[in-house]
């Protein structure tokens, strides 16, 4: 499915999850549980008579069996192919006819489907979404068609995109046999080998009430939503005598430093990237703040040093990406001024642990992050996505409600510890260098 801009950049919003000040109580969601145990979250927003519904399945490419990469994403495509009650195309047609919008996305730890529509049509989309959770029909013809669509999507987004290819190689190097090392879209050879039975098995295993939750945002109250949720979702049941599979286990990558150079004729502008595995979940919040301090696009310490002072880079950014099963990765991207600047840039990145950080730096970073979060409330789809991603990544609802206290508790000592641990000589890290053909940074 074609992704809207904010979902193509969903990792950016995930990195903002923990950041909110006590002086900005921007989120006031409520939570309730249906009779069948399915959780429902609601962010009321009465600025316009519209509602966003999102259903999150707590499964993604992490849960794919070895050799079956891409099955979660291909199933996402097949979910739009209809049921007996609502044949192929009916769901999308009804939403479009009534002025609504829909889409979906697959990640490492989750798969989500969302619709935004006027309040009066909410029961209709709830009925259709609940129906396809358990009554999806698999057509051999449509399966073959969608598999080809995904193969073409991979060709467009990965095979013909040098930066995507380099990122894929870096993830494989960083995580090894860990499921996070596989691309969410799947490996080309795995996608080509997927069968209709593979999708049916994944669907029947993971698409069930006990492995899903609902998020709503918009012009509806809990009193209005609860009976609707019970009517359409509360009646769904988990398959009898079919428990969810045991949690996937994979060893954490060991400490190492590796460098990957990828050359491609389409490359016009070289890029230097660095991805570091965070070894400690207690460093997640400090790492978020650290990423803002050193990697904000125009005033971060990396940009000021590499682009403004030394004039060896055109841009320098950093972001921390959260994961459910490990503790996240710290990622840096630098566009060199010229290829001959790459060795010095690499040297500077290896010395980030020596960058001086002050209390003022931390306070300024928090203020910038807080300002970015406030605008989430202007978009009901973004509100739902933000809350849903937080829960899908393993945070409790109380975690979500106490973001302010948690971020305000981060100290200068905490951030300096994250700085030293992440950028130590023994951390697990991968450098990636993207170059045109027959060019060398040496």
pLDDT of 4 reads 44
pLDDT of 48 reads 94
Q: Which of 150, 8, 133 is nearest to 69 (CA)?
A: 150
Token pair for residue 417?
Answer: 């510890």
pLDDT of 11 reads 43
Q: What is the pTM of this model?
A: 0.90
pLDDT of 22 reads 36
- What's the maximum distance between 2 C-alpha atoms anywhere in the chain? 66
Alpha carbon distances (Å) from 273 to 283, 321, 401: 21, 14, 34
pLDDT digits (tens, 9 = 90+) for 6-26: 443 444 344 344 333 334 445
pLDDT of 19 reads 36
pLDDT of 24 reads 42
Share of residues in the chain with pLDDT > 90 (%): 77
Report residue 204: phi and psi, to 5°.
-70, -25
100: Cβ–Cβ under 8 A, 6 or more apart, which residues?
Answer: 115, 116, 117, 118, 121, 125
pLDDT of 120 reads 97
CB 19 within 8 A of CB 172: no
Residue 388 CB neighbour total at 10 angstroms: 22
pLDDT digits (tens, 9 = 90+) for 297-355: 899 999 999 999 999 999 999 999 999 988 999 999 999 999 999 999 999 999 999 99
Identified catalytic residue from 76, 146, 292, 348: 76
pLDDT of 250 reads 59
Domains and CATH numbers, the chain: 5-232 (3.30.830.10), 257-376+395-435 (3.30.830.10)
76 annotated active-site: yes
Distance CA 125, CA 103 (A): 13
Positions of the chain with pLDDT lower than 50, given as ranges: 1-25, 439, 442
Distance CA 317, CA 296 (A): 6
DSSP H helical ranges for 274-424: 284-295, 301-303, 342-349, 359-374, 380-392, 397-401, 403-408, 412-422
pLDDT of 251 reads 59
Distance CA 349, CA 344 (A): 9
pLDDT digits (tens, 9 = 90+) for 389-430: 999 999 888 887 777 677 778 899 999 999 999 999 889 999
What does the buried/exposed string (b/e) look like for 202-218 if buried means 16 or more CB atoms within 10 Å of the residue's CB? Answer: bbebbbbbbbbbbbbbb
CB 186 within 8 A of CB 149: no
Q: Which of 261, 330, 254, 250 is nearest to 290 (CA)?
A: 330
């Amino acid at each position: 499915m074609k992704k809207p801009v904010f979902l193509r950049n969903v990792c950016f919003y995930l990195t903002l999850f923990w950041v909110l000040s006590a002086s900005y109580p921007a989120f006031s969601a409520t939570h309730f549980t249906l009779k069948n145990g399915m959780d429902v979250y609601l962010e009321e927003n009465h600025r316009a008579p519209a509602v966003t519904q999102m259903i999150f399945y707590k499964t993604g490419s992490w849960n794919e069996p070895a050799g079956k990469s891409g099955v979660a994403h291909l199933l996402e495509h097949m979910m739009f192919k209809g049921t007996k009650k609502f044949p192929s195309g009916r769901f999308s047609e009804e939403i479009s006819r009534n002025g609504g919008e829909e889409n979906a996305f697959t990640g490492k730890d989750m798969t989500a489907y969302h619709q935004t529509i006027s309040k009066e049509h909410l029961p209709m989309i709830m009925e259709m979404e609940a129906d396809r959770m358990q009554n999806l029909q698999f057509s051999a013809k449509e399966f073959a068609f969608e598999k080809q669509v995904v193969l073409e999507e991979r060709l467009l987004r990965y095979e013909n995109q040098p930066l995507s290819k380099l990122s894929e190689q870096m993830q494989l190097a960083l995580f090894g046999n860990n499921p996070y090392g596989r691309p969410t879209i799947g490996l080309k050879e795995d996608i080509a080998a997927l069968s209709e039975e593979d999708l049916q098995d994944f669907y029947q295993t993971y698409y069930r009430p006990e492995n899903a939750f609902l998020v709503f945002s918009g012009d509806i109250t809990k009193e209005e939503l609860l009976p609707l949720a019970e009517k359409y979702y509360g009646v769904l049941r988990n398959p009898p005598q079919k428990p969810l599979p045991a949690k996937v286990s994979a060893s954490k990558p060991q400490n190492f430093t590796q460098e990957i150079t990828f050359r491609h004729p389409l490359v016009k502008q070289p890029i230097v990237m660095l991805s570091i595995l965070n070894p400690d979940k207690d460093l997640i919040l400090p790492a978020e703040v650290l990423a803002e301090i050193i990697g904000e696009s125009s005033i971060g310490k990396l940009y000021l040093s590499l682009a403004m002072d030394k004039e060896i880079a055109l841009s320098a950014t950093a972001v921390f990406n959260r994961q459910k099963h490990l503790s996240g990765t710290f990622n840096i991207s630098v566009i060199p001024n010229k290829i001959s600047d790459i060795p010095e840039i690499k040297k500077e990145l290896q010395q980030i642990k020596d960058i001086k950080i002050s209390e003022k730096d931390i306070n300024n970073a928090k203020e910038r992050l807080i300002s970015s979060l406030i605008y989430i409330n202007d978009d009901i789809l973004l509100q739902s996505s933000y809350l849903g991603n937080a829960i899908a990544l393993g945070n409790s609802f109380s975690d979500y409600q106490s973001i302010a206290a948690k971020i305000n508790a981060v100290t200068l000592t905490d951030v300096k510890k994250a700085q030293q641990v992440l950028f130590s000589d023994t951390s697990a890290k991968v450098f990636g260098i993207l170059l045109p053909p027959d060019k060398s940074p040496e």
